[in-house]
Amino acid sequence: MANLVIVESPAKASTIKSYLGSNYKVVASKGHVRDLPKSSLGVDIENNFAAHYINIRGKGDLIKSLKKDAKAANKVFLATDPDREGEAISWHLATALGIAPEKCYRVAFNEITKTAIKEAIKNPREIDEELVNSQQARRILDRIVGYKISPFLWKSVKSGLSGGRVQSVATRIIVDREAEIRAFVPQEYWTIDALLNTAEKKSVKARLVSKGKSKVKLASGADVDAVLAEIGNGDFLCVSVKKAAKTKQPAPPFTTSTMQQEASRKLGFQSQRIMRVAQELYEGVNLGSENGGVQGLITYMRTDSLRISTDAQSAALSLIAEKYGDSYCPSRPRVYKTKAGAQDAHEAIRPSNVQLEPAQIRKYLSSDQYKLYKLIWDRFVASQMASAVFDTETIDFDANGYTFRTSGYTVKFQGYMAVYEESQDDQPKNEHSEEDKNQKLPTIHEQDMLKLDDFDSLQHFTEAPPRFTEASLIKFLEEKGIGRPSTYTPIITTIIARNYVTREGKSLVPTTLGEVTTKLMVENFPEIVDYTFTAQMEDKLDGIEHGESTMEGVLGEFYASFAKSLEKANETLSKETIEVPAEETDIICDKCGSRMIVKNGRFGRFAACPNYPTCKNTKPLDKAEKSEEEKKLVVADFKCELCGGDMVLRSGRYGSFYACANYPTCKFTKQRSKDIGVACPKCGAKLVSKMGRNRTLFYSCERYPDCDFSAWDMPTNEKCPNCGKMLFRKKGKDMYICHDKECGYKAEAPALTQAEEN
């Protein structure tokens, strides 16, 4: 073997293999191969926080195979993801596989295209030790916090709980917002609109804004009556007409945070789903021979940079001029300023090839892939376009010293809005409201007198701050500097899985357990759940990456203070047990008449009688009673893509499948399948193993029914030496057979390893 390339995922391996020649073998590590042990702390605090890493259970055969390949190769290229996590995986691989330094090369690329891959292979570098240490420091810090705090939660609240450096802060953010909502007292206020008529009998509505230079506050109906009495029923004098052409700039291309926010608002995707689909687009999709075969469609999706390469910018401007005209190109190429403290190693998220328009390649993409790719493509192209121009008009009227105002605007030039408009959910309102959009006011001149038709007074109440959604929580975390692009999704997933937070529609709501745990953390570990402290710690960890500080120094400074909190908590919490208040329901127990409470079981939340064990009555909260068979169902390690509930394994006519535990309220299902690490020969997507009729295993494309490839024999990454097509392993035999039956090639295959059989 000449050269070995090791990447993280099998899908990426098959894409890269198609770009490199026969001199390269491309294999996947399937993520980390080493980590801290689960059964112990794994960190020697007294010895400069030395970490004890072990091979991850279940990866023994894979490590053995990778070690054999590395030993046989002339050069080993470690091509894991281009971030601190990917750098650490490369470092662990080099150590675990015993790769000699003289033949170990680190390569990184921001996009998986033929040009980018070949350029990276031509320009390898050494493993960045400072980047590795930055990741190690985060891992060690999170391990220390989790392993030292969790036992206090077990003793004081309940077993099975966990505390974490960032997850506890995220839970506190949601708990604090709930407290704000409960404490909020609505304030009454009123608005007054005057319905006016021009001399040409055209109507216009104007709102009371001030008296002289003072803003008018209307706190009650009595205030309204007093103002209307002062104004009377006289004419309204036009005192000011202001017309202007105003411009609106496009939003910058996506970062990880803004992509998650916008995809949540516009597509309704949860963050976990967004990142999964983005990973698929980054790793590559087969677009057919007419579009160059397998292509990575977007740049690396974990970034907080707004930088765009000059080549990508030039390509976008050429497309804009050709598709929309020169007037849609800005006078100068747009450059967006990345916020202070952002990691600028990668570009913003953009299409790898802007010429691949979403509509052009739609038939090769799954529904989710198409929606997210279109969102990214639209946002990027719009970010490089000319500003939109509006004709605005604002007219002020005087009525006995009171000022009423009306405004409107029309779109003079669409500019970037011809392609994309940023969602306004969870964002500050524009200067002009949506009601004013495309509203052309009647011709009115200064000193014109308008007749009063009527007044329209409306009562309003101030509203409590809204609960966080995934989109608004991610935005808040980013603004406060808590977490980094790669951590937003795991943070949300963890606090929901731990039952500290639950979803109600799109809203994130703290559970009673989450509130009790947060109170305990605030009282005993205030620094851990302090927003500012957490953000400053992120900056210190980033400093290790930039060579501004050392891993040992940052960890030592943190632990000196943390150890004192642990000692104090040990004295306080060892003496008390905190009761988690029961969450009451509106359901009355039909056996004893008590108000039932919410309990959490293996299959989710249910209502139970508070008089247990005297009364053992239970009821489902949102579906019919579960049968005894359902109570034995296996819960999957992923959540429902529609409602976020548990997915459970069920049996059907054609074998087993996963279904939402909230059926029939939610009817989402997903066929049971397993990624086999092989690309579909028809479309390039992942091939998965499934259970068919009579419990018979078969293989099909994950994009079924969009792609109808399927086979009973096991597809492999091996190629036929006669015709170059895919080789299959004959079912039940150690034999390769060619995918092309006319070729007829057959050969003995090596026996399957235990991992492959599983």
The number of domains in the chain is: 6
Residues 264 and 376 occupy one common structural domain? yes
Residues 489 and 566 placed together within one structural domain of the fold: yes
Report the 10 Å Cβ neighbour count for 217.
8
33 and 100: one domain? yes
Q: What is the DSSP string of 215-231?
A: EP---SHHHHHHHHHHH
Average pLDDT over residues 562-574: 85
What's the pLDDT at 720? 81
Each residue's pLDDT tens digit, 473-527: 999 999 999 988 888 999 999 999 888 999 888 899 999 889 999 999 999 999 9
Question: Residue 693's pLDDT is what?
Answer: 54
Query: Quick one: average pLDDT of 341-369?
Result: 88
Q: Report d(CA 559, CA 569) in Å as an integer.
A: 15
Domain membership of residue 578 (yes or no) is no
Do 273 and 353 sit in the same domain of this protein? yes
Is 355 contained in some domain?
yes
Lowest mean pLDDT among 25-29, 153-157, 594-598, 629-633: 629-633
- Average pLDDT, integer, range 567-591: 78
Preceding amide of 253 cis, omega within 30: no
- What percent of the chain clears pLDDT 70, i.e. is strictly above it? 89
Sign of the dihedral defined by the CA atoms of residues 656, 658, 659, 661, in that order: positive
Residue 591 within a domain: yes
Distance CA 145, CA 677 (A): 35
pLDDT at res. 428: 40
Torsion angles phi and psi, residue 568, rounded to 5? -65, -40
Whether residue 755 is predicted with pLDDT greater than 70 in this model: the reply is no
In a domain, 643, yes or no: yes
Q: What is the pLDDT of residue 388?
A: 96
- H or E stretch including 568? helix 551-573
Q: What pLDDT, on the 0 to 100 scale, is given for residue 653?
A: 54
Q: Which of 20-24, 298-302, 515-519, 642-646 has the lowest mean pLDDT?
A: 642-646
Question: Could you tell me if 260 and 364 lie in one domain?
Answer: yes
- Tell me, yes or no, whether 292 and 377 share the same domain: yes
Distance separating alpha carbons of residues 151 and 172, to the nearest angstrom: 19
What pLDDT, on the 0 to 100 scale, is given for residue 89?
A: 96
Q: How many Å apart are CA 337 and CA 331, to the nearest integer?
A: 18
pLDDT over threshold 60, residue 749? yes
Q: What percentage of the chain has pLDDT greater than the value 90?
A: 59
Structural domain containing residue 426: 188-248+391-415+422-461
Let me know if residue 119 belongs to a domain. Answer: yes
Per the prediction, the chain carries an average pLDDT of 87
What per-residue confidence (pLDDT) applies to 606? 84
Confidence band (pLDDT; 50, 70, 90) for 627?
very low
Per-residue pLDDT reduced to its tens digit, 127-152:
999 999 999 999 999 999 999 998 88
List the structure tokens of 194: 């005057």
Evaluate whether 409 touches 384 at the Cβ level (below 8 Å).
no
Answer whether the bond into residue 664 is a cis peptide, omega within 30°: yes
Instruction: Give pLDDT tens digits for 441-485.
Output: 899 999 999 999 999 999 999 999 999 999 999 999 999 999 888
End position of a domain, from candidates 510, 544, 573? 573
**CATH number for the domain harbouring residue 531:** 1.10.460.10
Amino acid at 230: E
Residue 341 has pLDDT above 80, yes or no: no
Say yes or no to pLDDT of 426 above 50: no
Q: Is residue 216 part of a domain?
A: yes
- Summarize the confidence of residues 690-696 as an average pLDDT: 62
Secondary-structure breakdown of the chain: helix, strand, coil percentages, each rounded to the nearest 5: 35, 25, 40
The 10 Å Cβ neighbour count of residue 141 is 22
Clarify whether residues 200 and 297 are in a common domain. Answer: no
pLDDT band at 623 (very low <50, low <70, confident <90, very high): very low
Residue 356 shares a structural domain with residue 291: yes
* CATH label of the domain that carries residue 379: 1.10.290.10
For range 106-118, the mean pLDDT = 93
Is the C-alpha dihedral spanning 545, 548, 551, 554 positive or negative? negative
Integer Cα distance of 153 and 243 in angstroms: 63
Q: Is residue 239 part of a domain?
A: yes
Q: What is the DSSP string of 59-98?
A: -HHHHHHHHHHHHH-SEEEE---SSHHHHHHHHHHHHHTT
Whether 91 and 168 map to the same domain: the answer is: no
Q: Which residue has the higher pLDDT, 167 or 293?
A: 167
**Amino acid 651: pLDDT:** 65
User: Is residue 551's pLDDT more than 50?
Assistant: yes
Instruction: Please determine, for residue 170, whether its predicted confidence score (pLDDT) is greater than 90.
Output: yes
In this prediction, residues 233-246 reach a mean pLDDT of 95
- The token duo for 242 is 């202001």
Q: Are residues 146 and 263 in the same domain?
A: no
Residue 625 pLDDT > 50:
no
Mean pLDDT within 26-42: 92
Whether the per-residue pLDDT at 432 is higher than 70: the answer is no
Domain with 49 in it: what CATH number? 3.40.50.140
Q: Is the domain of 629 the same as that of 655?
A: yes
Domain boundary among 520, 551, 573: 573
- Asked whether residue 336 is domain-assigned, the answer is yes
Together in a domain, 262 and 376 = yes
**CA 564, CA 23: separation in Å to the nearest integer?**
57
Letter for the amino acid at 343?
Q
Name the more confident of 398 and 666. 398
So what's the pLDDT on residue 723?
78
- Mean pLDDT for 250-265 is 95
500 is catalytic: no
What's the rounded mean pLDDT across residues 201-218?
A: 94
Highest mean pLDDT among 366-370, 574-578, 582-586: 366-370
Q: Are 719 and 745 in contact (CB under 8 A)?
A: no
pLDDT for the residue numbered 752: 58
Catalytic residue among 24, 105, 300, 373: 300
Asked which of 641, 670, 699 is the last residue of a domain, the reply is 670
